[in-house]
Amino acid sequence: MGAKETVAIEETIVDAIVNDVMEQRIKPGTRLSEKSLCERFGVSRMYVRRALLTLANKGIVELQANKGASIRRPTLQQAVILFEARRAIESIIIKGVIEQRNEADIVKLNTHMKLEEQAFIANDRYELIRLSVEFHLLIASFQNNHLLTGFMKTLVTESSLITGMYGQHSFSNCPPSEHRHLVDAIKSQDQQLALDLMLAHLNHIEADLAISPASGLDIKTY
């Protein structure tokens, strides 16, 4: 097997686990069994171990001697810093979107909002979480800035770890109505309103976090 095929396999494993984390299908503290991952992806341990190392470098997985790999458990201090960073970065993004948004961007936002609202009505938790995450990445993508988009993916992945560990409600705390109001402000190019709505939205998500780590967190093998 060539180098390109090897990289492709590793990226498939990494992307799948990152998506599972972002959709909160696996919780912080969950142990990742090499054997189970080999069976899931139909590959040898070599590929799984390399993928786990990549995930550890991304801060998603913790590797411990004699204990193996597990999804990282963020601290409350890291949670506070994360939301400070999101408020700063997403305010910059909103300002840029208001100034530069075009009709194609509006079409993408409207299409996305229909999917979010459908998932909300259907009570499809995982789909709604996925779409909620994608909403923030979609807005970031309008900047046409590869570094900014990549940074936002890191931030929302970390947010998923934090809400998965400290969130007080089992359902998504990122309701479509808040996204819809933000989209309306972007359409009307009301920068101050859009900034206020984004900050209120992030504050709402942060406010749902428990003051202390969720007690009785199940440590399962995945």
Tell me, what CATH number does 58's domain have?
Answer: 1.10.10.10
pLDDT band at 169 (very low <50, low <70, confident <90, very high): low
pLDDT value, residue 125: 87
> Residue 32, by phi and psi: left (phi above 0), alpha (psi -120 to 50) or beta?
beta
Q: Which of 71, 92, 114 is the last residue of a domain?
A: 71
Both tokens of 2, joined, read: 């060539």
Taking 70 as the threshold, does the pLDDT of residue 221 lie above it?
no
pLDDT digits (tens, 9 = 90+) for 117-148: 999 999 898 899 999 999 999 999 998 888 88
pLDDT digits (tens, 9 = 90+) for 100-118: 899 999 999 999 999 999 9
Strands of the chain (E only): list them.
Answer: 31-32, 61-64, 68-71
Residues 129 and 195 in one domain: yes
Radius of gyration of the chain (CA): 18
Cα torsion 5, 10, 16, 22: sign: negative
Residues 47 and 116 in one domain: no
Taking 90 as the threshold, does the pLDDT of residue 149 lie above it?
no
Residues 34 and 144 in one domain: no
pLDDT value, residue 34: 95
| Range(s) of the domain holding residue 100 | 76-207
Residues 66 and 81 in one domain: no
pLDDT value, residue 214: 41
Q: Which of 46, 71, 96 is the last residue of a domain?
A: 71
As a whole number of Å, the end-to-end CA separation of the chain is: 27
pLDDT value, residue 209: 84
| CA 208 to each of CA 101, 169, 173, 212: distance values in angstroms, whole numbers, following the listed order | 31, 7, 7, 12
pLDDT digits (tens, 9 = 90+) for 181-207: 999 999 999 999 999 999 999 998 888
Question: Mean pLDDT over residues 51-74, rounded?
Answer: 94
Domain count, the chain: 2
Contact 96, 142 (CB under 8 A): yes
Spell out the residues 6+ positions from residue 122 whose beta carbon is closer than 8 angstroms to its own.
none
pLDDT value, residue 207: 87
Count of residues in the chain: 222
Both tokens of 20, joined, read: 């599972």
Residues 64 and 84 in one domain: no
3 or 164, higher pLDDT: 164
Spell out the residues 6+ positions from residue 76 whose beta carbon is closer than 8 angstroms to its own.
166, 209, 211, 212, 213
Residues 81 and 43 in one domain: no
Taking 70 as the threshold, does the pLDDT of residue 222 lie above it?
no
In the chain, what percentage of residues exceed pLDDT 90? 71
